[in-house]
């Protein structure tokens, strides 16, 4: 069974403060790891896919700024900053296999953020 851990699982974020999220593969190595985010009652939206340790990408969307880093073959990080006050955000990571199951993404349990 593929296992992705995420921490923290939830966080109250003071307005103006950034938060750092971690996603860790526990029992496998997937070349591609991705971040998705979801606002309350909206669609889950793809943010990034990073392939190699050292890869970084940034993105600014309405309501937050994102910085993703592939730290190692088994760890992916996401920094979320400048979130809008009162926003509830769910962030989840995924790992995608290669070979026979290259189409399938496995997801972590997610992190819920509430901006105060």
Partner 1 sequence: AQSVTQPDARVTVSEGASLQLRCKYSYSGTPYLFWYVQYPRQGLQLLLKYYSGDPVVQGVNGFEAEFSKSNSSFHLRKASVHWSDSAVYFCALSGNSAGNKLTFGIGTRVLVRP
Q: Interaction with partner 1 in 38-77: which residues (CB under 8 A)?
A: 41-46, 49
Q: Which of 34, 72, 66, 36 is nearest to 52 (CA)?
A: 72
Taking the complex as a whole, the smallest distance from the CB of residue 16 to partner 1 amounts, in Å, to: 29
- Tokens representing 91 are 């962030």
Rounded CA separation 105/5 (Å):
14
Residue 109 touches partner 1, criterion: CB under 8 A: yes
Nearest CB to partner 1, comparing residues 75 and 82? 75
- CA angle 62/54/32 to nearest 5° reads 70
Residue 27 binds partner 1 (CB under 8 A): no
Q: In angstroms, rounded to a whole number, what is the distance separating the alpha carbons of residues 99 and 27?
A: 17
Dist CA 9 CA 7 (whole Å) = 5
Compute the least distance from the CB of residue 86 to partner 1, in Å. 21
Given 19, 21, 34, 113, the residue binding partner 1 (CB under 8 A): 34
Residues of this chain that bind partner 1 (CB under 8 A): 4, 32, 34, 36, 41-46, 49, 92, 96, 102-110
């Amino acid at each position: 069974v593929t296992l992705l851990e995420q921490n923290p699982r939830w966080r109250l974020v003071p307005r103006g403060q950034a938060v750092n999220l971690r996603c860790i593969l526990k029992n496998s190595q997937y070349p591609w790891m991705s971040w998705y985010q979801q606002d309350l009652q909206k669609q889950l939206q793809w943010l990034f896919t990073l392939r190699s340790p050292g890869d970084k990408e940034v993105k600014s969307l309405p309501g937050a700024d994102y910085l993703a880093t592939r730290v190692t073959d088994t760890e992916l990080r996401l920094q979320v900053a400048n979130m809008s006050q009162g926003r509830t955000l769910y962030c989840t990571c995924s790992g995608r296999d290669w070979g026979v199951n290259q189409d399938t993404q496995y997801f972590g349990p997610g992190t819920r953020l509430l901006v105060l």
